[in-house]
């Protein structure tokens, strides 16, 4: 690209992503706050508000690329501790931090942790009432495969929600955002995690990710119905929704 990134072959991608999250797992939550200036909290709250998990009845949700548990904990709390959430991540270090956090919040009973790949979910068809993925899908090498897996493990009538960085649709904001991403984010990575290079790769992965409309089309192609989205912060993040019918 014009930003001087080296290009990453698809086969190499998962390894790079894994290195990043192994390195930063214990500082991941702090990094999120610094790099998004706290905005990720607002977007995640909005995601769980849209999901609106029920406060009674048996209800099971799967949070893929769930990392340190941010989405899962919000779902459990929003449901008055009724929901059961499985946090799935390919990275054991991130899940380890998540497990500790769940115990501290005393919600370990409502959450379980599974180390697996979004492209190969170790669950039977029609298992979950909801599937969530936040800032995870752009790290997955084969997005279409991950989306088909989502459709497979959802129950008929189940809900799919994906929060991800997207295309900024505000004229001035896009310039500010570029400056932030290409200068500040790798520098924060350098200061807090001791290495800016992996963050350069993550910023690049945001640029390569399909825009709102194209991602909605991929969801439909994977067999999910009624794909729509909402933009947050001018499109810095977008929340996509769909259903398994
Ligand atoms: N969802 C959490 C949040 O919003 O704070 C974590 C997001 S973090 C930016 C991305 C996560 O995706 C990492 O924990 C990483 O290990 C995970 N990940 C990357 N590739 C994956 C894959 N193929 N399958 C499952 N998880 C994956």
Distance (Å) from CA 174 to ligand 1 centroid = 25
Strands 60-64 and 128-134: parallel
The rounded Å distance from CA 135 to ligand 1 centre is 7
Residue 116 marked ligand-binding: no
Q: CA separation (Å) from 53 to 47, 80, 102? A: 11, 9, 18
For residue 117, which atom of ligand 1 is closest to its CA?
A: 24
For 48-103, the pLDDT digits (tens) are 999 999 999 999 999 999 999 999 999 999 999 999 999 999 999 999 999 999 99
Mode of pairing for the β-strands spanning 237-243 and 154-165? antiparallel
CB 98 near ligand 1, within 6 Å: no
Q: List, in order of start, the domains of the chain with CATH numbers.
A: 10-243 (3.40.50.150)
Average pLDDT over residues 224-237: 96
Question: Which of 70, 77, 82, 78 minimizes the C-alpha distance to 49?
Answer: 78
| Cα–Cα distance measured from residue 65 to residue 58, given in angstroms and rounded to the nearest whole number | 23
Q: Which residue has the higher pLDDT, 242 or 1?
A: 242
Q: What ipTM, to 2 d.p.?
A: 0.99
Ligand 1 pocket, mutate which of 43, 90, 162, 202 (most atoms under 8 A from CB): 90
The pLDDT assigned to 151 comes to: 98
Residue 124 in this model has a pLDDT that exceeds 60? yes
pLDDT reported for residue 63: 98
Query: Is ligand 1 within 6 A of the CB of residue 164?
Result: no
The finding on whether 136 has its CB within 6 A of some atom of ligand 1 is yes
Show the tokens assigned to 187: 């520098």
Q: What is the pLDDT of residue 4?
A: 41
Q: Report the range out of 17-26, 32-41, 180-189, 229-238 with the highest average pLDDT.
A: 229-238
Q: Would you say 99 and 73 are in contact if contact means Cβ atoms under 8 Å apart?
A: no
Secondary structure of the chain in the HEC alphabet?
CCCCCCCCCHHHHHHHHHHHHHHHHHHHHHHHHHHCCCHHHHHHHHHHHHHCCCCCCCCEEEEECCCCCHHHHHHHHHCCCCCEEEEEECCHHHHHHHHHHHHHCCCHHHEEEEECCCCCCCCCCCCEEEEEEECCHHHCCCHHHHHHHHHHHEEEEEEEEEEEECCCCCHHHHHHHHHHHHHHHHHHHHHHHCCCHHHHHHHHHHHHCCCHHHHHHHHHHCCCEEEEEEEEHHHCEEEEEEECC
Average pLDDT score over residue span 146-162: 98
3 confidence band (pLDDT: 50, 70, 90)? very low
Is the distance from CB of 69 to CB of 88 less than 8 angstroms? no
Counting ligand 1 atoms within 8 A of each CB, the residue from 136, 142, 232 with the most, and so the one to mutate, is: 136
Please say if the pLDDT value at position 13 is more than 60: yes
27, 51, 67, 165, best to mutate for ligand 1 pocket (most atoms within 8 Å of CB): 67
| Total-model pTM | 0.92
């Amino acid at each position: 690209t014009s930003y001087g990134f080296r290009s990453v072959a698809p086969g190499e991608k998962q390894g790079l992503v894994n290195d990043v999250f192994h390195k930063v797992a214990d500082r991941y939550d702090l990094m999120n706050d610094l790099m998004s200036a706290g905005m990720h909290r607002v977007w995640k709250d909005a995601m769980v508000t849209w999901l609106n998990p029920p406060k009674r009845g048996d209800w099971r949700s799967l949070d893929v690329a769930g990392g340190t548990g941010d989405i899962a904990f919000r779902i459990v709390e929003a449901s008055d501790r009724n929901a059961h959430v499985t946090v799935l991540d390919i990275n054991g270090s991130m899940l380890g931090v998540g497990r500790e956090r769940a115990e501290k919040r005393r919600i370990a009973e409502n959450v379980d942790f599974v180390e697996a790949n979004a492209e190969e979910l170790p669950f039977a068809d029609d298992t979950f009432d909801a599937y969530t993925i936040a800032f995870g899908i752009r790290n997955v090498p084969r997005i279409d495969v991950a989306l088909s897996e989502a459709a497979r493990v959802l129950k008929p009538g189940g809900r799919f929600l994906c929060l991800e960085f997207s295309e900024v649709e505000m004229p001035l904001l896009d310039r500010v955002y570029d400056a932030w991403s290409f200068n500040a984010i790798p520098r924060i990575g350098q200061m807090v995690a001791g290495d800016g290079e992996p963050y350069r790769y993550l910023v690049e992965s945001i640029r390569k990710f399909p825009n709102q409309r194209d991602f909605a089309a991929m969801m439909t192609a994977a067999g999910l119905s009624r794909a729509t989205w909402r933009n947050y912060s001018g499109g810095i993040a977008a929340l996509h929704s769909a259903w398994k019918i």
